[in-house]
Amino acid sequence: MAVAIRTVGLRKVLRAQRGRRVAVDGLDMEVPAGGVHALLGAPGAGRSEVLRLLVGLSRPTAGTIELLGVPVPSRLPEVMPRVGAMVEEPVFTGSFSGRRNLLLLARAAGVGRDRVDAVIERLGLSEAARHHFAGYSVGERQRLALAAALLKDPELLLLDEPTADLDPAGAREVVTMLRERGDAGRTVLLTTDDPALVRQVCDSVHLVDEGRTVAAGSVTDVLGEVRMEMTAVPSELESLLGSRHEGTS
């Protein structure tokens, strides 16, 4: 099985007001190449910090990372042309239109105007892209950030809470787009605290808590196993999985 992402003993210790906090604690993870995969956990579980480590926004305290077979952060510039990410909002210029902001990012990445227009249309931004970014709604900002992540048509797409700020229609469009990419052989890794989203779009899931893997495997196996063994699940995850399940039953 080809592996798109591999971490071994990944650890990140952050400075906090009261000493230090372990955000990622010896995380071993393998994400298969192709398909849509999730890091699922309650807020504060370490999901976002894992993505920050993967794209070089944070450096690991210990452990190793490989993206598409390339060790990072030591060879990050080599692999990043093949990776798209929405981990932190890009620095968009408020007085520029959405399209102009994307054109500037595309130029830096060696991407043509046709690709810019294609991602604008795919994410339903054709009208909004004409207007200044400063006037965008939260959902429009989210979709523009997604568009920026898609500019290079990346082999590997890393997304932090991709549907969190979208209305139901916008979320459905993004879910459809992610599934299309997975079915086309691209690899998507997203973070979420929503088991329903994982069931809807993902092929596999890593369930994380306090920076550690609680369970990993197919969505059916992992979420089914966790519900059957709920007494072994940390209280935050028990609440998350139980409440979401009841709300969708």
Give the strand order in the sheet containing 204-209.
83-86, 156-160, 187-192, 35-40, 204-209, 212-218
Distance, in Å, from the CA atom of 51 to the CA atom of 85, rounded to the nearest integer, reads: 9
Element (H, E) at 196: helix 195-201
pLDDT surpasses 50 at 228: no
Question: Residue by residue, what is the 3-state secondary structure of 97-159?
Answer: EHHHHHHHHHHHHCCCHHHHHHHHHHCCCCCHHHCEHHHCCHHHHHHHHHHHHHCCCCCEEEE
For 32, phi and psi rounded to 5 degrees? -65, 150
- Domains delineated in the chain: 3-248 (3.40.50.300)
Q: pLDDT, tens digit, for every residue of 147-192?
A: 999 999 999 999 999 999 899 999 999 999 999 999 999 999 999 9
Q: pLDDT, tens digit, for every residue of 112-147?
A: 999 999 999 999 999 999 999 999 999 999 999 999
- Per-residue pLDDT band for 11 (boundaries 50, 70, 90) equals very high
This prediction has a pTM of: 0.88
Cα end-to-end span (Å), the chain: 34
